């Protein structure tokens, strides 16, 4: 029996190792192509750079100098940080209110938040674009509000699951000591919710950082461009496809979010598990 388990374990390890290589291989292909001359990227996409094809850091400098990559990074960081902070603060307070009040109105709000996760984005994208134009939300500040709306569903769902696991006696003791509801949330509830804060923050950061469709639909792209929009412009809007700059920009866009995920990945499972203690 133990022998069969050992064989199955080795087979499973081998299978998932191959799957991992298949998933990681495209990143390495983009990485070594980012150091090639543009003419060789299409001709020899799967070969390592050599003396005749190596281009040093010229692709990276082209992405930064010619296409305004650093400006795009600045707007992407602003949108990502602002949106994640807004989502964490607003949805955690909303989830706490929904869970503790627990009446027909709050249950309806909860159902609407959960329902928003299953509505296809294509159903609302044209209406969203129209409303954005009429309300003047085609700016990074307006996009933060839009991301708050689209990111609230998952965040409220996860926060509600965690708040149910917090003993109500802790909050009752704080009320007896004279805490107002607002002070009790920030002094008592928020520190306890830290695992879910980290999990939601990681998931929302990865989504917003890599998102292309919402910025493209809502932003005034003549004034504001995110990283994903800049990369799309490198592909066609300048009359030619600069594959070298595209590869370099992709690597510079991937590295921050990969480092962020690797540093925080253990908190995702911890936060999800913490929010699943009680239904």
- Residue 17 counted as domain residue: no
Provide the number of structural domains found in the chain: 1
* 208: phi then psi, degrees, rounded to nearest 5: -70, -40
Q: Per-residue pLDDT averaged across 178-205, rounded?
A: 88
pTM for this one? 0.84
- Residue 33 counted as domain residue: no
Range of the domain at 239: 60-275
**pLDDT band at residue 271 using 50, 70 and 90 as cut-offs:** low
Q: Which residue has the higher pLDDT, 197 or 39?
A: 197
Note the pLDDT of residue 133: 86
34, 217 in Cβ contact below 8 A? no
Which CATH number covers residue 222?
Answer: 1.10.3720.10
- Using the structure block, give the residue that is written with the tokens 């296409």: 67
Q: Per-residue pLDDT averaged across 82-97, rounded?
A: 94
Q: Per-residue pLDDT averaged across 90-118, rounded?
A: 91
**pLDDT band at residue 11 using 50, 70 and 90 as cut-offs:** confident
Note the pLDDT of residue 278: 46
For 264, other C-beta atoms within 10 Å of its C-beta total 16
Nearest residue to 188 (alpha-carbon basis) of 167, 206, 170, 168: 170
146, 132 in Cβ contact below 8 A? yes
**pLDDT band at residue 279 using 50, 70 and 90 as cut-offs:** very low
Note the pLDDT of residue 84: 95
Note the pLDDT of residue 92: 94
- Residue 187 counted as domain residue: yes
Taken as a whole, the chain contains a residue count of 279
220 Ramachandran zone, left/alpha/beta (phi>0; psi -120 to 50): beta
- With H, G, I as helix, E, B as strand and everything else as coil, classify residue 36: strand
Give the pLDDT confidence of 226-267 residue by residue, as tens digits. 998 888 887 764 456 778 888 888 899 888 888 887 877 776
- Residue 191 counted as domain residue: yes
- Residue 231 counted as domain residue: yes
Nearest residue to 58 (alpha-carbon basis) of 41, 77, 75, 76: 41
- Residue 127 counted as domain residue: yes
What is the rounded CA–CA span in Å between residue 184 and residue 165? 17
- Residue 139 counted as domain residue: yes
Nearest residue to 68 (alpha-carbon basis) of 244, 223, 239, 254: 223
CA dist 141 to 68, 77, 80, 170, 177, Å? 20, 12, 11, 37, 39
Q: Per-residue pLDDT averaged across 175-198, rounded?
A: 87
Nearest residue to 93 (alpha-carbon basis) of 38, 163, 153: 163
Nearest residue to 202 (alpha-carbon basis) of 250, 275, 266: 266
For 7, other C-beta atoms within 10 Å of its C-beta total 10
Is residue 275 scored above 80 in pLDDT?
A: no
- Residue 112 counted as domain residue: yes
Q: Per-residue pLDDT averaged across 139-159, rounded?
A: 92
What is the rounded CA–CA span in Å between residue 72 and residue 141? 15
Note the pLDDT of residue 270: 62
Share of the chain above pLDDT 90, in %: 23
10 Ramachandran zone, left/alpha/beta (phi>0; psi -120 to 50): alpha
């Amino acid at each position: 029996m133990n022998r069969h388990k050992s064989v199955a374990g080795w087979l499973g390890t081998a299978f998932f190792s191959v799957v991992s290589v298949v998933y990681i291989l495209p990143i390495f292909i983009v990485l070594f192509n980012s150091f090639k001359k543009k003419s060789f990227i299409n001709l020899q996409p799967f070969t390592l750079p050599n003396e005749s094809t190596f281009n040093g850091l010229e692709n990276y400098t082209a992405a930064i100098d010619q296409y305004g990559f650093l400006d795009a990074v600045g707007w992407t960081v602003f949108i990502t940080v602002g949106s994640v902070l807004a989502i964490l603060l607003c949805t955690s307070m909303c989830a706490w209110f929904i869970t503790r009040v627990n009446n027909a109105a709050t249950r309806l709000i909860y159902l609407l938040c959960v329902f928003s996760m299953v509505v296809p984005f294509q159903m609302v994208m044209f209406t969203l674009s129209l409303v954005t134009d009429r309300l003047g939300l085609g700016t990074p500040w307006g996009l933060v509000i839009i991301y708050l709306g689209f990111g609230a569903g998952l965040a409220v769902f996860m926060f509600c699951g965690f708040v149910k696991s917090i003993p109500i006696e802790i909050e009752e003791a704080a009320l007896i000591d004279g805490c107002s509801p607002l002070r009790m949330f920030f002094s008592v509830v928020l520190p306890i919710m830290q695992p879910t804060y980290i999990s939601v923050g990681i998931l929302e950061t990865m989504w917003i950082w890599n998102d292309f469709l919402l910025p493209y639909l809502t932003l005034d792209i003549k004034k504001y461009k995110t990283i994903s929009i800049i990369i799309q412009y490198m592909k066609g809007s300048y009359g030619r496809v600069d594959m070298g700059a595209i590869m370099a920009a992709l690597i510079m866009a991937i590295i921050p979010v990969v480092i962020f995920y690797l540093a925080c990945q253990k908190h995702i499972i911890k936060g999800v598990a913490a929010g699943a203690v009680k239904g």
